[in-house]
Amino acid sequence: MGSYRFILSGGGTGGHIYPAIAIADELKRRHPDAEILFVGAKDRMEMEKVPQAGYEIEGLWITGLQRKLSFKNLMFPFKLMSSLMKAGKVIKKFRPHAVIGTGGFASGPTLRVAAGKGIPCVLQEQNSYAGMTNKLLKDKVAKICVAYDHMDRFFPSDKIVKTGNPVRGDLVESFKDRSEARSHFGLDADKSTLLILGGSLGARRINQLVAENLQFFEELDIQLVWQCGKLYIEEYKKYTSDSVKVVEFVNRMDYAYSAADTIISRAGAGSVSELCIVGKPVLFIPSPNVAEDHQTKNAQALVAKNAAVMIREPSLDEQFQNVFSELQKNKWKQKELSDNIKNLALPNATSDIVDEIMKLVNNENP
C-alpha cells in the first residue's frame, strides 16, 4: 500500500480535540508519509487548535440541537444536509483509508458518510457516559475505543475495545523531583501542597470555594498551587502569597503534579485519565453544566472503586471542610486512594487506539 490517508473528526471542546490530535501524532510517528486531514465544526475551537498542531482542517456548517425550542433548531436540518454534502465531497476527494471520530457535532456527518462508502471507521469515546453523536454512530462503525468499564450499556459489546484516553506523552514519561517541582512554584519544599485544577478557562464555583477557605487551608498548614483559569485571573490574583500561588494556566503540569500531595479537580475525561497516571489522592468537584452530567458519572466511576473522593457542587458548603480535612489527616486513606487510582491508569491508550485503526486498515481481525 502507498502512503496512508486518515481523516480525524471531533471537536467543540478540548476534550474531543486533544485526543484526536494525539491519535494523529501517533499515526504520523508510525507512518511519517501518511496524509492526515481533520474535519471540524466551523467557528469552533478546533478550527484554531488543529492548525496550531500542524494539521489541515476542513470546517462543516454544523451545530448541536438545543435543548429548548430555538431558531438554531429550525436551522438544524439545513445545517445537517449541508454538512453531509460537504463531508461527502471531502471524503470523495481525500479517499481516506480510515476515518476516526472522537465525538462532537462534526464527527456525526463525517463518519456517517464514510461508513456508507464502506470506509473503516473507529470511534473514541472519552467519557463513562457516551456522548450523543457517538451513540448515534454506534451501528455504523467497526470499532469503538473506550476508557471505562460497562460501556456495553451504550455500544455493541463485540465492537468495544478498552484502550483508555490519550494523555500527554510528556506526562507519562516525566515526573520531577518533588523539591525541584515545589521550588519551580516558589513553594516550601517540606510543606503539604494542594493542587487546584479548574480547567483552562477556570471553574467559577471551585474558585469561590478556594477563596472562602484560604483561612481553613492556612489552619491545616497547607500551601496551594491554584490554577484559577483565564476568565478569573484578574479577580483572584490578589490572593497570591508565599503559600498561595495563583496562576491563570499551568504550563508545566509535570511540575504541578509532582509538587502536589493532594489534588482538587473537575472530572472531565482527559483530566480523569491524567490523574489516574499521576496517582495522587483526588477530590473531584464535577461540573454540573455539561451534557448528560457526564463529569459526575466519570467521577462516580472512580469513587465506586475507592479511587477518589467526590463532592457535588450543591453540597460544597456543608461537606467540603469535613471531607477535605478528613482526607488531609488520614494518611492511610490517601495511600489507599493513590494506589487504587494508579491501578486504573491506561498509559498506552494512544498507541492501543492506533493499533486498532491499523488492524482495520490492513484487514486484520476486522
Sheet with 309-310, strands from edge to edge, namely 244-247, 222-227, 192-197, 262-265, 282-284, 309-310
CB atoms within 10 A of CB 98: 22
**Domain topology for 170-343:** Rossmann fold (3.40.50)
Alpha-carbon span 61 to 86, nearest angstrom: 9
Q: Are 121 and 138 within 8 A, CB to CB?
A: no
Residue partners of 365: CB distance under 8 A and separation at least 6: 359
Residue at grid coordinates 470546517: 59
Q: Do domains 5-167+347-361 and 170-343 have the same CATH topology?
A: yes
**Domain topology for 5-167+347-361:** Rossmann fold (3.40.50)
pLDDT of 250 reads: 87
Alpha-carbon span 270 to 349, nearest angstrom: 12
Cell of 161: 475495545
pLDDT of 66 reads: 47
Q: Are 350 and 173 within 8 A, CB to CB?
A: no
Interior CA angle at 13 toward 9 and 19, to 5°?
Answer: 55
pLDDT of 174 reads: 58
Cell of 344: 486504573
Residue 21 carries which DSSP code? H
CB atoms within 10 A of CB 251: 8
For the chain, domain boundaries: 5-167+347-361, 170-343
Alpha-carbon span 145 to 9, nearest angstrom: 15
CB atoms within 10 A of CB 175: 15
Q: Which residues are annotated binding-site positions?
A: 13-15, 127, 168, 200, 295
Helix (H) or strand (E) holding 234: helix 233-236
Alpha-carbon span 124 to 114, nearest angstrom: 16
CB burial readout 329-362, b (16+ within 10 A) else e: eeeeebeebbebbeebbbbebbebbbbbbbbbbe
Per-residue pLDDT of the chain (366 residues; tens, 9 = 90+): 569 999 999 877 767 888 999 999 999 999 999 999 999 888 778 888 899 999 999 988 766 554 555 556 666 666 667 777 888 899 999 999 999 999 888 898 999 999 999 999 999 999 998 988 899 999 999 999 999 999 999 999 999 999 999 987 666 555 678 899 999 999 999 999 999 998 777 789 999 999 999 999 999 999 999 999 988 999 999 999 999 999 998 888 889 999 999 999 999 998 999 999 999 999 999 998 877 788 999 999 999 999 999 999 999 999 999 999 999 999 999 999 999 999 999 989 999 999 999 999 998 754
Question: Three-state DSSP class for 266?
Answer: coil
Q: Which residues are annotated binding-site positions for UDP-N-acetyl-alpha-D-glucosamine?
A: 13-15, 127, 168, 200, 295
CA distance to 28, 42, 101, 113, per residue, from 34 (Å)? 6, 25, 18, 22
Question: Phi then psi for 352, rounded to 5 degrees?
Answer: -65, -35
CA dihedral 77, 82, 85, 87 (to 10 degrees): -100
Q: Are 240 and 223 within 8 A, CB to CB?
A: no
Q: Are 13 and 104 within 8 A, CB to CB?
A: yes
